[in-house]
């Protein structure tokens, strides 16, 4: 059991750093998109700096964290008795479904990262702000599943974070209208 707890601790540490990387990379995407709209030479200076920051975050923190979190998770699930028993539980199947969605989210961030590294802006800052909520919803879903260990009760937590996200976005739109009105 002590062996399992070390694996679990390492898994949690790398899940936390993985999510930190995912949250911050999308914020850097917002900054890169905003920099693309600046006049020269500010545009080139900011783009170069944000590309360096994004590169370091993505390849020094986010990718290694994703890989290590996955290694420790697979190790726990397939090479420990407790993990093997959890694979029989319905809540774990739902959790693994969310983990699969997280990998898809990560892959899409990789695609956006590569585009922005080549100064290709294909999304708006508003899209990126909404996109950032995807990782939040996945995180809440997985945490509620793991803590409650129930395949269905996690829905209440996700509905709560979804409603919270909608409220934040409405507040953002309201603030933007006020800011634009005061600017003119």
Tell me the three state secondary structure of residue 89.
coil
**pLDDT single digits (tens) 28-68:** 999 999 999 999 999 999 999 999 999 999 999 999 999 99
Which amino acids are annotated as binding site for heme, given as ranges?
Answer: 11, 95
Q: Are 98 and 51 in contact (CB under 8 A)?
A: no
Q: Where are the domains of the chain?
A: 2-183
**pLDDT single digits (tens) 125-156:** 989 988 998 898 899 888 888 888 876 777 77
pLDDT mean over 68-74: 97
Which of 52, 29, 56, 35 minimizes the C-alpha distance to 126?
29
Which amino acids are annotated as binding site, given as ranges?
Answer: 11, 95
Q: For the residues of 148-175, what is the DSSP string, one character each?
A: H--TTTHHHHHHHHHHHHHHHHHHHHHH
Tell me how far apart the alpha carbons of residues 53 and 38 are, in angstroms, rounded to a whole number.
Answer: 18
pLDDT given at position 116: 98
pLDDT given at position 184: 72
pLDDT at 97 over 80: yes
pLDDT given at position 1: 66
Going by the DSSP 8-state scheme, the letter that residue 159 receives in this structure is: H
pLDDT given at position 42: 96
User: ∠ at Cα 99 (61, 60), nearest 5°?
Assistant: 10
pLDDT given at position 164: 80
Handedness of CA 41, 44, 47, 49 (dihedral sign): negative
Tell me how far apart the alpha carbons of residues 85 and 134 are, in angstroms, rounded to a whole number.
Answer: 30
Share of the chain above pLDDT 90, in %: 61
Helix residue spans in the chain (DSSP H): 2-36, 42-56, 63-79, 81-86, 90-117, 125-148, 154-183
**Within 10 A of 24 (CB to CB), how many other CB atoms are there?**
17
């Amino acid at each position: 059991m002590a062996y399992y707890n070390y694996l679990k601790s390492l898994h949690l540490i790398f899940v936390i750093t993985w999510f930190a990387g995912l949250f911050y990379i999308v914020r850097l995407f917002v900054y890169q998109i905003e920099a693309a709209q600046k006049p020269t030479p500010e545009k080139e200076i900011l783009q170069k700096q944000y590309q360096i920051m994004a590169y370091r975050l993505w390849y020094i923190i986010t990718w290694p964290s994703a890989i290590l979190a996955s290694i420790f998770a697979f190790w726990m699930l397939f090479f420990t008795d407790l993990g093997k028993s959890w694979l029989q539980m319905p809540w774990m199947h739902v959790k693994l479904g969310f983990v699969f969605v997280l990998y898809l989210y990560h892959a899409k961030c990789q695609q956006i990262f590569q585009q922005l590294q080549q100064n290709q802006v294909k999304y708006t800052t508003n899209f990126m702000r909404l996109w950032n909520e995807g990782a939040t919803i996945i995180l809440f879903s997985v945490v509620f599943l793991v803590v409650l260990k129930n395949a269905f009760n996690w829905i209440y937590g996700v509905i709560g974070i979804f409603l919270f996200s909608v409220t934040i976005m409405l507040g953002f739109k309201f603030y933007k209208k006020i800011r634009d009105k005061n600017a003119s």
